[in-house]
Structure 1
């Protein structure tokens, strides 16, 4: 007997603003709003973080009168609505564990038969840690009549691992209660499309003790499409105390999607460094911010013609194409930049244009690096023994090979001729600090950037040959960022920079014969609160885009060190098992 086909249904984001220390009034008001959503036909209803009590509590004693168990009196009141309308409610509230008397920021999934399960927030923000314990339940996934539902809360989204764990656990929908001032909702598109999940996000739209929450409750599709969004109130003088409900249709036929299929291509054996803890005494980390001038070279390739491609590359190096331009510390070229893309070429042709690491192309750029005192990252078909690799090499400013990376995640055409690489590594340079490299399709696997961050990459270079196949245009509301992403920003690349807290430099092709997407770019650590500004090249023009940035940003409110210190690797085990 086959299982019944799931039908499309309506989801609701309840943008509700509780009053601090007023649990009973909040619950009564929230019940009315949630019932209104259910009456309008919403089958899945998501509420904001700490929706029953408000958010800011100085310690355990301050919140003690307002906590409840799950199941408990509070969840039972919402279960009545679920029973009456056949709905499912994600209710975020402060939970008291009946056995330990520990408190958690939690969310209960409630259905027609009562509480189905509980999620406890994994990654806490500083003020929450004054009274709440970090979640101890991992990222559970709950089977329902609507599909498999997971929950994460607010700061969790900054850590790509939580959404990835949900997808690997079989989730179809990620419910996301939050009290966000911008960052945690700005990354939701990347989480949705990388993991093939519907994301249903409910935020607040007012102020509490001076903390401004920006609204923007939204539903994202598994393809990274924004299906619905409440108004974003970025200005601190704009609030809306009245509740807002945002609706969108969830289509279960999209539970199977390209990102879900890509989960089968993961190489969990390469991701072990994700499980490492990072301690404040680690002497290996770079404590020196470094000002960097980089160039991202994009051009139309000539497939299979090494001479033509190398000429284009040399013309784009500062000092040749633009003699008055300051020399670059680093130049990044596209994927397989020496040979051009080899899609469709015969294996024997690809063999003929391959070369060893000590071949002519590497020797040429080693010489150019010495002459110009510049670092290069470029790609070529590497030959070793009887194997070929899609490789990228890092040449330092002394002309030495600082590292070679062999692409670890191959697309279908590449598997005809290339072997996958067997390691993800960061390379050290005296001038630039630590550089991680990934290539093209690797960007579809957030674990790669996660490993590079765990190895403390200050910069991630991505030689690419992107034609739009692994990510869509960034659709985050520009009001969420003080330095908005330029038109043409790509969601996956933007997500890598934020998740790894490493400046991410992408070099891509342009083309007419083959429609490569251009948009070579620098993606930055925190445009949301005004630290830095992303820069994006055109979609069509051959050009060398100059960018400047300073690595590490040790004084900023959030950076790689703080991200690594606050990760919870013991909850990421599923990522190295599946």
Structure 2
């Protein structure tokens, strides 16, 4: 396998369906122009031909563009062969036998042959008015490694990219039509480019090459451009403008995607625990979230005033206990309903019961839920455990199930599964530390009914920010991340909404708490836009690979 791959993202100007012949000439012209720089792979946007918006109000008969689409595909195949280049092309695909349409991505090899076809699975908004959904996630072997494709809103579902990754894909092509709004075309953006696709790249340790359009279709569908290359560390390696037709070139290092370890703490593939993820493939109407979504009433207290606390842990137990007590009392004075402390190190392993007793005393008779993460000793084992204490009573506990490398000599993996706790403030799930990077955990907690996920952590590199926003948006839930400032940890705690917005946040390297009121009813509305529901439009029977144990050798 070669070590480098030169790619070209062709950021094409959107054109109306009526201008499809002009559009075809422009597509071919851009391919010719890109070829001057000798890329080995070109990626074009979603439905680059004939157009994305093909409403029956505009297209009276799909037969009228079938012929010209086939002509374009033939011409693109000829150019792939001429330029000895792979080309990924987004088209409207017609199935003449079934008389149905798909929003499809074709991958053409340097011999001019179509070697893979992906059909958009998670349909967006009006897509379902004329497109049928795909149900397969093919991966193709090339001299550059295994390549998979997905289309636009497919990137909003963690399952689809994960299915491609678990099949061994290290290079993913995102043929997209990221839509947007804004006052200035130079400043247009989209949640996917800001944090969701960086998260997909990081949580799978893959390269993602995304090609988007610029301009507008149907005087209502505005594209944000920003075609980009996302590196396996979640960083944007290179990005285009939001308003100019252009070609983005970049040479990727294929070796970077081979190592599936993050921060030398977790292997994002081998450290999965599929035995805990059974809900991911169960029929939607059998899951707790399905019945919860149908309820006409919400939680007893649907608007909890929620606090994330970031503290520096003390070496002295008495000082530590005093600090905990001070923060809780101050927050109760400020009428906080939920109080969340950060992830701890291996401290005070013999004093857990005393800390819990103190918090029970403080919160007794008070309407408050406190989440504190401690070292729990049980028999001869130690667990990193988050205790939920509500109004002086232990509501439940979660033992960290996905143990990091530096913890394996100290802690045992949790043996209580991935529970969701019923509280006066809705259903609460918990994940700890690097567990937040495994998309399966937050998704499983959501499917079990969580309204809010509590996430104690101790990151030193701000990974929690894009992850927190993505987990909120992809699951349509609140996520509250309390990040430590001890040792190398840098704070920047935050709470995100079901749309991925940051509701409140903390400074770096500062002992602080920050609060926000949460409308938990928003967590029970899983519609993103009309006809696109992050729970109901999943296809669990196509995600079977998520339950496979897959081991990746450490490099």
Q: TM-score, normalised by structure 2?
A: 0.88
1:128 aligned residue: 127
Q: Write the distance in 2 (CA, Å) between the matches of 1:120 and 1:415.
A: 42
State whether residues 14 and 245 of structure 1, in contact with CA within 8 Å, keep that contact through their aligned partners in structure 2.
yes
1:201 matched to 2:210: yes
TM-aligned CA deviation for residue 556 of structure 1: 8.4
TM-aligned CA deviation for residue 160 of structure 1: 1.1
Q: Write the distance in 2 (CA, Å) between the matches of 1:428 and 1:70.
A: 57
1:185 counterpart SS class: helix
Higher mean alpha-carbon deviation, 115-124 vs 559-568, is at 559-568
TM-aligned CA deviation for residue 353 of structure 1: 2.2
Higher mean alpha-carbon deviation, 277-286 vs 100-109, is at 277-286
2:442 aligned residue: 449
What is the aligned residue count? 522
Q: Write the distance in 2 (CA, Å) between the matches of 1:369 and 1:59.
A: 61
State whether residues 175 and 199 of structure 1, in contact with CA within 8 Å, keep that contact through their aligned partners in structure 2.
yes
CA-to-aligned-CA distance 1:83-126 (integer Å, 9 cap, x gap): 11111111010112354332110000011121111000000013
Q: Write the distance in 2 (CA, Å) between the matches of 1:11 and 1:245.
A: 6
Q: Write the distance in 2 (CA, Å) between the matches of 1:408 and 1:62.
A: 55
TM-aligned CA deviation for residue 282 of structure 1: 4.1
2:379 aligned residue: 385
1:544 counterpart SS class: strand
Q: Write the distance in 2 (CA, Å) between the matches of 1:453 and 1:391.
A: 20
TM-aligned CA deviation for residue 493 of structure 1: 2.0
For 1:147-162, list aligned pairs within 5 A. 147-162=145-160
Out of 313, 327, 335, the residue aligned to residue 327 of structure 1 is 335
1:543 matched to 2:512: yes
Q: Write the distance in 1 (CA, Å) between the matches of 2:127 and 2:481.
A: 36
TM-aligned CA deviation for residue 259 of structure 1: 4.4
For 1:496-575, list aligned pairs within 5 A. 496-511=471-486, 514-526=487-499, 533-553=502-522, 558=528, 562-575=533-546
Q: TM-score, normalised by structure 1?
A: 0.84
Out of 251, 262, 270, the residue aligned to residue 268 of structure 2 is 262
TM-aligned CA deviation for residue 376 of structure 1: 0.5
TM-aligned CA deviation for residue 72 of structure 1: 4.6
Gaps (5+ residues) in structure 2?
180-189, 550-555
CA-to-aligned-CA distance 1:198-248 (integer Å, 9 cap, x gap): 111111111112121111111111111211112235xxxxxx5xx321122
TM-aligned CA deviation for residue 18 of structure 1: 3.2
Q: Write the distance in 1 (CA, Å) between the matches of 2:221 and 2:389.
A: 47
Gaps (5+ residues) in structure 1?
234-239, 473-488
CA-to-aligned-CA distance 1:28-63 (integer Å, 9 cap, x gap): 210110221122122211111110111112349746
Q: Write the distance in 2 (CA, Å) between the matches of 1:525 and 1:283.
A: 19
Q: Write the distance in 1 (CA, Å) between the matches of 2:123 and 2:340.
A: 37
TM-aligned CA deviation for residue 495 of structure 1: 1.6
Q: Write the distance in 2 (CA, Å) between the matches of 1:69 and 1:548.
A: 56
1:401 aligned residue: 394
1:372 matched to 2:366: yes
Higher mean alpha-carbon deviation, 22-31 vs 206-215, is at 22-31
Q: Write the distance in 2 (CA, Å) between the matches of 1:253 and 1:144.
A: 15
Q: Write the distance in 2 (CA, Å) between the matches of 1:449 and 1:201.
A: 25
TM-aligned CA deviation for residue 284 of structure 1: 3.5
Higher mean alpha-carbon deviation, 260-269 vs 148-157, is at 260-269
Out of 286, 289, 308, the residue aligned to residue 296 of structure 1 is 308
State whether residues 295 and 546 of structure 1, in contact with CA within 8 Å, keep that contact through their aligned partners in structure 2.
yes
Of Structure 1 and Structure 2, the greater strand share is in: 2
TM-aligned CA deviation for residue 13 of structure 1: 3.8
Q: Write the distance in 2 (CA, Å) between the matches of 1:69 and 1:110.
A: 19
1:363 aligned residue: 357
Out of 394, 414, 419, the residue aligned to residue 425 of structure 1 is 419
Q: Write the distance in 2 (CA, Å) between the matches of 1:441 and 1:556.
A: 26
Q: Write the distance in 2 (CA, Å) between the matches of 1:167 and 1:244.
A: 29
1:155 counterpart SS class: helix
1:115 aligned residue: 114
Gap change, CA 1:70 and 1:254, over 3 Å in 2: farther
Gap change, CA 1:396 and 1:28, over 3 Å in 2: same
2:232 aligned residue: 222
Higher mean alpha-carbon deviation, 378-387 vs 101-110, is at 378-387
TM-aligned CA deviation for residue 552 of structure 1: 3.0
1:26 matched to 2:20: no
Q: Write the distance in 1 (CA, Å) between the matches of 2:69 and 2:148.
A: 18
Q: Write the distance in 2 (CA, Å) between the matches of 1:556 and 1:140.
A: 28
Gap change, CA 1:555 and 1:503, over 3 Å in 2: closer
State whether residues 292 and 550 of structure 1, in contact with CA within 8 Å, keep that contact through their aligned partners in structure 2.
yes
